[in-house]
Amino acid sequence: MNSDDDQGANDYCLIDATRPPKADGPPYAECVLCREPTEYPESYKGITYCPVCEWQEAQRTACSG
């Protein structure tokens, strides 16, 4: 391993952490899992989760080890 490597020993655990922009107000997009309102605008195209499902999904997909 190169000591100049910025990613270090944990570079095997890279997750794309891009998130949709937060909405300024209603209408909100529905969560794709539970259909509850999310923090994201309804106009956002893509997968959106409510805060609870987003946390659960992050726990499910977190790197272990």
24/38: higher pLDDT: 38
Cα-based torsion angle of the residue sequence 38, 39, 41, 42 in order, rounded to the nearest 10 degrees: 10
Minimal CA–CA distance to 20: which of 44, 49, 52?
44
Average pLDDT over residues 1-26: 58
Locus of tokens 């893509």: 46
Locus of tokens 């259909």: 35
27/12: higher pLDDT: 27
Helix, coil or strand: residue 19: coil
Is the confidence at residue 22, as pLDDT, over 60?
Answer: yes
- Averaged pLDDT of the chain: 76
Average pLDDT over residues 30-35: 93
User: pLDDT digit string (tens) for 39-60?
Assistant: 888 888 888 899 999 999 888 8
Is the confidence at residue 2, as pLDDT, over 60?
Answer: no
